[in-house]
Structure 1
Amino acid sequence: MKLLSQLINGLNAGSIYALIALGYTMVYGIAKMINFAHGDIIMVGAYVVWVAIAVLKLPVSVGLIIGVAACAVLGIFIEKVAYKPLRKAPPLAVLITAIGVSYFLQSASLLIFSSAKRTFPVSFDIPAITIGSLVVPGQTILILVVTSICMIALHLFINKTKAGSAMLAVSEDKDAAQLMGVNVNKTISMTFAIGSALAAVAGVLFASSYVYVYPTMGSLIGIKAFVAAVLGGIGSVPGAMLGGILLGLIESLSKTYLSTQLSNAIVFGILILVLLVRPSGLLGKSRTEKV
């Protein structure tokens, strides 16, 4: 029964990692860059919801909608201001810019909110489900349901809509897609908006579980989500989902049966082993580039 409890805990954390990893993998798959500011967008979404509900006293539903919308707009703004001018630049320049944007968001939040932890005003009072001696917390059920809905909706959007087809076309070949009438700039902006909106949802779920919101909350969880994206195969949406779930399970089981202090090292160690055996990740595709 202890094993089942830890598996449920792993699914709980892994679902949040998967949601965030989707943002990393979508941006990489289409824009061929790593948006290291993505983890801090999680923090921005949580703070926007905190301001809307705790400060402005808006209803919870309105605060959640504002948080998701604000992060979607922020994602578009970051892409237009920081990344679009560098599309033809060397990868190192884009990488440094992404790190700079990440530090800017953290520093701005520290100036505005200070480093103090704020009690997150959103809590979901959902009754737990008891199966024999196993108790599944209501919060865990909510996270699994919300993340499953988001992932299914994203999968249907990409594979069943015209906009999703445009995203797939741009991910394969930007120039060919543009010749076929696809608006590449609009498609990339839409990708940043969707990924950032998903990050906001993940930020709310994480903050409501942790109870607090603080400026550096997105750093570690963002890095772990990036690991999940690489583990599953960065650029692959199913890979991001699989990587997130596996990462959560590995982390939960290692904390319980091996060492709490070494759990992060174990996670990154397994990532290294996977990349040594399969550099493209579990579901990623190796591409041969012509020189």
Structure 2
Amino acid sequence: MERLRHHGGVKIAVVQTASSNDKAANREAVRRLVAEAARERPELVVLPEAMMADFAAEGGSVGEQAEALDGEFVGVLRKAAVEHGTAIVAGMFERSCDEGRPYNTLLAVGADGELIGAYRKIHLYDAFGYKESDQLTAGDVAPVVVRIGAHKFGLMTCYDLRFPELSRALVDAGAEVLVVPAAWVRGPLKEHHWTTFLTARAVENTCYVAAAAQNGKKYSGLSQVIDPQGIAIAAVGEADGFATAEISAERLAEVRKRNPSLQNRRFTVTPR
């Protein structure tokens, strides 16, 4: 674990681990990992995408693994949030109208255990020889921003990073931090893509990015928090662990004053 604090602001912990298809084991991992990260007293703990259950193999289905927003997995998140006094964001498969193709959903739970947001992944990973849309249903094209303390956090998932219009829509909706749980698949240059996109989304939007990724044999790891100048202020390598960093309203304002690129835009794009 590496840790570097910014002056003032809200402390975020990004957690790195690999889930499995054993949902009970994953729930126990959530309890343990949140408890470990909570020792650093963060206001937000970010867990990876698909923390409830891992993706199925190509040609398989996660339909039977899916749960409702009042199911066991969300119950564990809510209890952990209250027990440790921290908000939590984590990924799950949520039941949809199509029984065989649930949503890939991020849940945001407040420190009081209340559900404060749910984001259904818009951009499904139909790339690099994989077709996520065979297993999952895409969410509506709408930015989801939640408030935690005095700050606003925009939710996006993994492959969404490749579509800068979503991060811009989140920032236009008030997000100061982009929260990016992921299961970024390993492969040639994929780790480079991951770090490049995280940095680009921070710099082009002059905002923080907090990314929590799965690791192990399938996924790249490299969870990190990046500041509005594109500097990684906290990072985890390939192993299990977590990193914490503080986001600062003063730092955000300072960077946006020096680099007012959001104000200098000439194009306005409305998401389809």
More strand by share: 2
Using the size of structure 1 for normalisation, the TM-score is 0.27
Larger RCO: 1 or 2 (CA < 8 Å, sep 6+): 1
Using the size of structure 2 for normalisation, the TM-score is 0.28
